[in-house]
A and B are shown apart, each in its own frame.
Chain A
Amino acid sequence: MTVPEGTAPATGAAGPGAAPGTPARRAPAPVRDDGGAGVSPGPPAGPATPQRADGVAAFEAVDLARSYRLEGVTVDALRGVSLRIEPGEFVAIVGPSGSGKSTLMHLLGCLDRPTAGTLRVNGVDVSTLDDGGLAELRNRVVGFVFQSFHLLGRTSALDNVALPLVYRGVGRAERRERARAALEAVGLAHRLDHRPSQMSGGEQQRVAIARALVGDPKVVLADEPTGNLDTRNGEEVMGILSRLNADAGVAVVLVTHEPEVAGRARRRINVRDGRVDADTGEPR
């Protein structure tokens, strides 16, 4: 069970299709296959964009804050996070429970909007996007892996994995083909028609990873991907993520409480009380 090169499922028809494995892989801002009705966010043209010479950061957060209001009480889950994550990085986010790790992941994954600060995802300032534009970033730029898998219960592994492509307007035959390739890539070629209830936790999480990478994303965000798994399955999942990062150049950002898991990452970001406490190996 290996992740073959070009994890980008080998259909080649759609998707950026650039040679994987190079961190410099630079995809255009998301554009819908169906002709681009709706938003087509692009990095604001011209030199006004603070970009590095070597490319667009996967994520660039400046003073990112997120607070929740609950019955008049304000909870500051994030209080000004600034960070930059380059394409192809492997980052572990660690920190005590309640420190804001998941909140940060949701912001990076465009599932949520910051209450203050700016966030650029793949060069696009999310505050310029409407909900449809955010949905498109979620669909094309990031792949999300959840602690509790979140698979559709009555749906086969193949159809679960193909789901993101549905919202991209990819045809059924191509969807199935790409989903099959993605499942093969996580070593589940023999489980295509199984439903989540017929699979082990480790297998379910691998299906979820296949789903995260079927759309050929720039980044995979994983919030405690091994949290619900035993050590052996957890290691298997981590192996897949590592290879995905090493072979296909997909950036991986994961949250974990387990030191061994965090140890796999080249960079570690410590979050405490809604702030970045320490950031090892920031490539700056």
Chain B
Amino acid sequence: MKGAEALRMALEALRVNRLRSALTMFGVVIGVSAVVVLVAIGTGAKEAIEGEIAGLGSNIILVVPGQVGLGAAPTQSRLDLGDVAFVRRVVGDPGKVTVAVNSGESVRVGRNEVFATITGTDENLPNIFERPLRRGRYLSATDVDTRRRVAVLGSEVADKLFGDVDPIGRQATIAGVRFRVVGLYEPVGATFGVARDQEVHIPVTTAQRLVGLSRINGIAVGASGPDEIEPLRQRVLQGLSGRYPGERFSAVTQTQLLGTIGSVLGMLTGVLAAIAGISLLVGGVGVSNIMLVSVRERTREIGLRKALGARGGDVLRQFLIEAVLLTTIGGVLGILLGVGGSLLIEALSPVPAAITWWSIALAFGVSAAVGVFFGVAPARRAAALDPVIALRAE
């Protein structure tokens, strides 16, 4: 019997039992589409976060007191502006070191009021972070030195407070203190769920007075190239440890963040894919089950085919192809559904979804393999039937 013939026969058998075939496929469709969608979401999340980290700027080292790790909150800061000056000396290039003092405050313009992240920083911020301006200017050294009450607004804050009005040169009240808007950032999106467009930057000195603190939250250092990151990190850490013996500081690089987040999200994607894979497996068991029923039902047909000259191999092939067709047709439908679902999620929800070719190829390959794996037992049973007994079956 030729392969094309076996395929035709199998298609015919599936067509005859249309509803049953469709329901059996359904399990595989669900499993495969779940794999495609969940892998797309996992990959999408990973790509989005990695994009955010890369979008911060390049070669950045973040220095914070205490120990950072995912899930560990930074300990109470003991760093102050003196330490920033110290790090500047350690780094050697003062322009590549900037600082952050963070606080959440309400910002008001006339009747409009928003709650924003107020970040006290300095003139070096744009040297290290990717933070393009739309209008006006960045904070200057003079702003910091003279503790000016000036602010650079994130795009969302500006939109909410000023609407269509150009905010440059206008007044805004932050925590009850009047500031003058000198700059407006381009929208940059969020990083780690931190909406950077909802930030307001003011001079670090002004910020410390505003919130009544002499401490800072962190220091950011920009390395001159990728190869410089690690030595610089070591120098800064060693310097700070020498200055404060017995205390811990952390210096996290983007590469580390990318690595950590990448592996966590990769694991998450794997877990999601495995869960989806289980449903695919269940679909495969369904195929096996239905094929066994089908073999039983068609015992007489099998006996007849053998009586007419079908070899065991012919019968085996016929039923195996039926099983594989069930799962691969289900697989293709599942891929279509999964791709469609991913695109829909991407379009209609904030969840990012990136369709990957490997997940599609894998889903298809696995569904075909599931067909072979779960089809073999029923097909062998069919092939082994004794024609005389099979013909007598009811």
Contact = CB atoms under 8 A, between A and B. Distances in A.
B198 to A, nearest CB: 67
Q: Interface residue tally of chain A, by bracket?
A: 20 to 34
B304 A164 contact: no
Contact of B308 (A112, A131, A167, A169): A167
B389 to A, nearest CB: 9
B301 interface: yes
Contacts, number: 60
Contact of A164 (B5, B300, B303, B308): B308
Interface stretch (A118-126, A137-145, A241-249, A275-283): A137-145
Given A152-B301, A166-B5, A167-B314, A106 B388 contact: yes
Given A112-B388, A150-B300, A167 B307 contact: no
A139 B388 contact: no
B305 interface: yes
B15 to A, nearest CB: 9
A138 B5 contact: no
B331 interface: no
Nearest to B314: A167
A179 to B, nearest CB: 13
B387 A111 contact: yes
Contacts of B305: 163, 167
Nearest to A103: B388
A109 interface: yes
A168 interface: yes
Given A166-B1, A166-B5, A169-B1, A138 B308 contact: yes
B310 interface: yes
B309 A169 contact: no
A63 to B, nearest CB: 21
B96 interface: no
A211 B308 contact: yes
B307 A109 contact: yes
B311 A132 contact: yes
B17 to A, nearest CB: 10
Q: Interface residue tally of chain B, by bracket?
A: 20 to 34
A167 B309 contact: yes
Contacts of A144: 307-308
A167 to B, nearest CB: 4
Nearest to B387: A111
Interface in B350-383: none
A215 B2 CA distance: 17
A113 to B, nearest CB: 10
B391 A150 contact: yes
Contacts of A150: 300, 303-304, 307, 391
Interface in A168-221: 168-169, 172, 211, 215
A135 interface: yes
Which residue of B301, B304, B306, B309 has the most chain A CB atoms within 10 A of its CB atom?
B309
Given A132-B313, A166-B1, A167-B314, A139 B387 contact: no
Given A112-B388, A154-B16, A164 B309 contact: yes
A146 interface: yes
Which residue of A112, A132, A152, A167 has the most chain B CB atoms within 10 A of its CB atom?
A167
B183 interface: no
Interface in B275-310: 300-301, 303-310
Contacts of B203: none
Nearest to B17: A154
A139 B1 contact: no
Interface string B176-190: 000000000000000
A176 to B, nearest CB: 13
Contacts of B303: 150
Contact of B310 (A109, A112, A167): A167
Given A150-B300, A166-B1, A138 B312 contact: no
Contact of A111 (B1, B301, B314, B388): B388
Given A111-B307, A140-B309, A154-B16, A146 B388 contact: no
Given A106-B388, A111-B388, A150-B391, A136 B300 contact: no
B314 A131 contact: no
Given A144-B308, A169-B1, 9 more contacts: A109-B307, A111-B307, A112-B388, A138-B306, A144-B307, A152-B304, A167-B305, A168-B309, A169-B2
